């Protein structure tokens, strides 16, 4: 049902844990992709692997660090040179400090907001400028942009999900709604996806108890699997969602429902 053939897609944060399966699915559906990430070596590797599997499509990569706004300018120069225009933009970038509330300084808090919120805004605005015929923008939020972390899930020495992350994601939720209204007349749709608990097993190799605690907080009784974000993102990227705008899809097993 979903079709992305010949679509020019720019994916920011393209080679993260949740993003990589989405990138591969988009390629399977016929898209041309620019993989943008701070981990440019991995982005290059994935682009080469995609090119070998789908030789008739275009795959390229670029470096990006939203703490350095000049890298955004350089990245979009490459995007424009490679694709000319953008049909779909997906942003899975993130920024946070692993600190307790008492440990934050104003400088550290502002650093997160500059990288996460301001950076996301600049990516969205620059992408929209390359969508003369309309397009779709999909931005990753989080369940922690809607609800607070339950401290009982995080046993010492583990720290709860940090406050700057949730504050930034809440800000993105409003940005999604604002830009959806602002760019709607240009046929540029802006939507979001809000992942729930998707712990990367590589980050918790010896902490099965943590995963079990998360399992118990999800109505369907388990955490998300790596590939389970792809469906929501593909839907919002494709023409199947042509009348979906300003919406944030929760992919959380029901976490935010109770």
Of the pLDDT bands very low, low, confident and very high (cuts 50, 70, 90), residue 203 is: confident
Establish if 99 belongs to a structural domain: yes
Mean pLDDT of the 39-66 span: 98
CATH number of the domain residue 249 falls in:
3.40.50.720
CA distance 195 to 229: 7
What value does the mean pLDDT of the chain take?
A: 96
Structural domain of residue 212, as residue ranges? Answer: 8-257
Residue 200 three-state SS: coil
Q: What is the 3-state secondary structure (H, E, C) of 171-185?
A: HHHHHHHHHHHHHHH
For the stretch 227-257, pLDDT in tens is 999 999 999 999 999 999 999 999 999 999 9
> What percent of the chain lies above the pLDDT cut of 90?
94
H/E stretch holding 202: none
Of the pLDDT bands very low, low, confident and very high (cuts 50, 70, 90), residue 187 is: very high
CA distance 84 to 86: 7
Full strand arrangement of the beta sheet holding 8-12: 59-63, 32-37, 8-12, 88-91, 135-140, 188-195, 248-251
Establish if 1 belongs to a structural domain: no
- Kindly compute the dihedral angle of the four CA atoms of residues 96, 101, 106, 108, in this order, to the nearest 10 degrees: -30
Number of folded domains that form the chain? 1
Establish if 2 belongs to a structural domain: no
For the stretch 81-127, pLDDT in tens is 999 999 999 999 999 999 999 999 999 999 999 999 999 999 999 99
For the stretch 2-22, pLDDT in tens is 899 999 999 999 999 999 999
Establish if 239 belongs to a structural domain: yes
Determine if residue 170 is left, alpha or beta; phi over 0 gives left, psi from -120 to 50 gives alpha, anything else beta: alpha
- Written as one string, the DSSP assignment of 70-109 is HHHHHHHHHHHHHHSS-SEEEE---------GGG--HHHH
Q: In this predicted structure, what is the pLDDT of residue 107?
A: 98
Establish if 3 belongs to a structural domain: no
For the stretch 134-163, pLDDT in tens is 999 999 999 999 999 999 999 988 999 999
CA distance 189 to 138: 8
Establish if 23 belongs to a structural domain: yes
Establish if 109 belongs to a structural domain: yes
Establish if 153 belongs to a structural domain: yes
Mean pLDDT of the 198-218 span: 89
């Amino acid at each position: 049902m979903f079709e992305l053939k010949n679509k020019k897609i720019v994916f920011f944060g393209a080679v993260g844990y949740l993003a990589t399966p989405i990138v591969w699915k988009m390629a399977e559906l016929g898209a041309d992709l620019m993989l943008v990430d701070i981990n440019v070596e991995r982005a290059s590797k994935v682009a080469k692997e995609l090119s070998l599997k789908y030789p008739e499509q275009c795959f390229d990569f670029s470096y990006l660090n939203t703490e350095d706004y000049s890298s955004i300018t350089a990245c979009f120069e490459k995007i424009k040179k490679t694709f000319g225009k953008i049909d779909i933009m997906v942003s899975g970038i993130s920024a946070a400090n692993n600190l307790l509330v008492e440990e934050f300084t104003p400088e550290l808090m502002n650093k997160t907001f500059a990288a996460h919120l301001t950076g996301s805004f600049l990516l969205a605005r620059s992408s929209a400028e390359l969508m003369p015929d309309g397009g779709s923008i999909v931005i990753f939020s989080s369940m922690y942009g809607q609800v607070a972390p339950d401290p009982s899930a995080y046993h010492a020495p583990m720290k709860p999900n940090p406050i700057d992350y949730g504050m930034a994601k809440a800000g993105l939720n409003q940005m999604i709604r604002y830009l959806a209204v602002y760019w709607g007349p240009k046929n540029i749709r802006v939507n979001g996806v809000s992942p729930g608990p998707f712990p990367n097993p590589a980050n918790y190799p010896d902490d099965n108890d943590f995963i079990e605690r998360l399992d118990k907080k999800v109505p369907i009784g388990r955490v998300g699997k790596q590939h389970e974000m792809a469906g929501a993102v593909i839907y919002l990227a494709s023409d199947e969602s042509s009348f979906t705008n300003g919406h944030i899809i929760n992919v959380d097993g029901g976490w935010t429902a109770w």
